[in-house]
Structure 1
Amino acid sequence: MACMAFKMDQLEDVFSESLCVERRINDTAAPHPRLSQFKQRGGQSSEDRRLNKLDAQKKNRLDYVNKARCLAEEDWSNYEENEDEEDMDSGSCSKDARHKNRRPRYYRNQLMLSEWLVDVPPNLAMDWLMVPCPVGRRNLIVAAKGKTSSYSKSGYRLSVFPSLLPGGCRKHKHNNTDYSLLDCVFHEATQTFYVLDIMCWRGHPVYDSDTEFRFYWLQTKLSEAPELAVQSSINPYRFLALPSYPCNPSAIENTMAKPPPFEAELDGLLFYHKKTHYTTGSTPLVGWLKPWMLPDMLGVPVPDSIMASKPHGADLKPPDPSMDAANTVNIDAEAGDTKCAAGGRDERIKTLDS
């Protein structure tokens, strides 16, 4: 069944790519817009879209508790889809037609996806965090009702297994009330789920928390459960949190000079805006670069071993002045204090733990 779901997911990805009339802006499924052999489109700058997205998240808050419960319990009878969560490739299909095959659609587009980092954000060092990402397959992990399920980006269930995540194993205490939702990259060779982000832990959703808090919460909760990092009969896959780093040039250069903080091969780098909430679908508030792109995009040198992976002829064009005139960048500025305010963080922790 898992193998069939995997093949169906692959087929759907191929069909969606071939039938899509117009890709999302800066879609990572396409080549980087600044590769020399591709013409960059005009339109709204990435920075304008980032600011609009930050403003919109203040106004449009979903019922995160209800959403997390629906994902955990597979009960969508009282859930109304947000427009952003509906199938973006549905074309002219009516809403009734889209709801016929309803179950897999609910688990589709539930992950926060990146865009190519085309325009370097102002105050990159101050306002962003970098997460090295291993090679693997992106998965939504739902631990609830005594079992753990992994779903593809397209919403197909790939596997069901026990885990020591809250709610993920029948032997777990309070498995009927606890549930957890994680955004992971699965590396098959090491049977490991590398955790990128956290949406819910033990029934407490953190969708509407900013990136700094979610990353802190993720590291804290996984460190409190070291058994998740060990394979066993009731935890057949390891769960390891991916670290984040400041985005000043020296920190990026030092990170690239060291081996990846995981056993898998380094695939690329995700750049998260510190203030973004966890929003489903692609967002300009999460950027993506391949490691060999760092010298051209950020002016950060990387080891020769990384540059050796650069495809032949894959030279990036310099930024378009007409697109970036309003986005003057000074990434050499040292970052300020990147820690959460202790008082506010402790208050938030107390609320979630109560």
Structure 2
Amino acid sequence: MEELSSAFTSGLGFESKEPTVQSHSSLHKVKGSGLSSQEERRRRNLQLQKEKRKDYLSQVRKLVESDDEGIEDDEEEMESSSTRQRRKQGCKRHMANQLMLSEWMVDVPPDLDDNWFMVACPRGRRCLVTTNGGTTRAFRKNGYCFKRFPSHLPAGKRRNRSGDSKPVILDCVFNEAEKTFYVLDVMCWMNHPVYDSDTEFRFFWLQAKFSEVPNASEISDINPFAFIPLPCYPCSKSTMESVMGREMPFKADLDGILFYHKQTHYTTGSTPLVGWLKPWMLPEVLRVSVPQKYIDNKLPEEPWKPPNVPSEMECSTQESTTGKQTEEHAG
């Protein structure tokens, strides 16, 4: 059992956990009349997901079999065919709002050290990536397909017909300059949905499955964009400071830190079980030291602490006073 635990921890990119009681913060707290605290909503969401049962295989088929009919309007000439336009709008409806979005970490979880992971997130465009029938597609949060290309992912290229019927669904951050999709999470791998698996398993599964397709991380004619799974770490103060003090596992600028509750399933829309902080917020909110370069990157109009939002509905827009948090915001 100890060997299995060690292998599992190594596969996730964890470091040895230290018995500290220092906590951190998560993305979007709701305050106001009639609204419970963020911590109460976390407990409620964890309980509700135990009671939900869903046909996730049907969900996978809906996502990977949608006929997107090309990329979005602002990147191609307008189609003259009304039929094709209707198909594109139908695909947009199917693919929109399929990502699990974070909230500002306003209430620091009391169990942050024991029950949460942190993921350093590069700057880029948050997107959903699917493979099916030899084609890889990337979709914006609003459902528009902005990339179609071959890849070394299962069912991602036509030269591997045997795997065309075994699709993949990934939650990614796309950095155009690096030609790289940084993979945050996995929802399905080779027709095996893991939506209802907890974060701990999904992150282990993500690292394990990408180790089986090493070519997916290399840019080539057959694989024009790299796919790099991001590592996660435990949330002890010493580990946080160690991660922030070293070089990030990506060339892109650091956008912020995502915090995932270990037991949360992959649910669409915003959730208090996934938190978000900008790098310069860590000292103020979590008492975690960060290099001076992250403090210097803060713009004058940006706050030192995560802003409160007036309602839960506003959380799902992922817009706030901390700068761009629309399509370019990873959280």
| Structure 2, unpaired ranges of 5+ | 1-24, 68-86, 309-331
Retained in 1: the 8 A contact 2:117–2:235?
A: yes
* Percent identity over paired residues: 53
> Which of 162, 174, 180 pairs up with 2:168?
180
1:272 corresponds to: 260
- Residues 79-118 of structure 1 mapped to structure 2, 5 A cutoff: 101-118=89-106
Q: Does the C-alpha gap of structure 1 residues 279 and 298 become closer, same or farther in structure 2, counting only changes over 3 Å? A: same
Structure 1 CA distance for aligned equivalents of residues 149 and 306 of structure 2: 48
> Which of 279, 283, 295 pairs up with 1:291?
279
Q: How much has 1:313 moved relative to structure 2?
A: 6.1
Structure 2 CA distance for aligned equivalents of residues 291 and 281 of structure 1: 23
The residue type paired with residue 49 of structure 1 is R
Structure 2 CA distance for aligned equivalents of residues 59 and 101 of structure 1: 33
* CA deviation vs aligned residue, 1:178-218 (integer Å, no higher than 9, x gap): 10000000010010000000001111111111001000000
Structure 2 CA distance for aligned equivalents of residues 155 and 143 of structure 1: 15
Retained in 2: the 8 A contact 1:139–1:153?
A: yes
1:50 is aligned to 2:47: no
Q: Does the C-alpha gap of structure 1 residues 190 and 292 become closer, same or farther in structure 2, counting only changes over 3 Å? A: same
| Structure 1, unpaired ranges of 5+ | 1-25, 35-39, 76-98, 321-354
Retained in 2: the 8 A contact 1:111–1:183?
A: yes
> Which of 28, 32, 56 pairs up with 1:64?
56
1:149 is aligned to 2:137: yes
The residue type paired with residue 121 of structure 1 is P
2:319 corresponds to: none
* CA deviation vs aligned residue, 1:98-149 (integer Å, no higher than 9, x gap): x995331110010111010000001100000000000000110010011001
1:198 is aligned to 2:186: yes
Structure 2 CA distance for aligned equivalents of residues 316 and 292 of structure 1: 7
Structure 2 CA distance for aligned equivalents of residues 113 and 318 of structure 1: 16
Structure 2 CA distance for aligned equivalents of residues 273 and 187 of structure 1: 26
- Residues 1-354 of structure 1 mapped to structure 2, 5 A cutoff: 41=32, 43-74=35-66, 101-312=89-300, 314-316=302-304
- More deviation, 273-282/42-51: 42-51
Structure 1 segments of 4+ aligned residues over 2 angstroms from their partners: 40-43, 99-103, 310-320
TM (normalized to structure 1)?
A: 0.70
Three-state SS of the structure 1 residue aligned to 2:285 is helix
Q: How much has 1:316 moved relative to structure 2?
A: 4.3
TM (normalized to structure 2)?
A: 0.75
Q: How much has 1:45 moved relative to structure 2?
A: 0.3
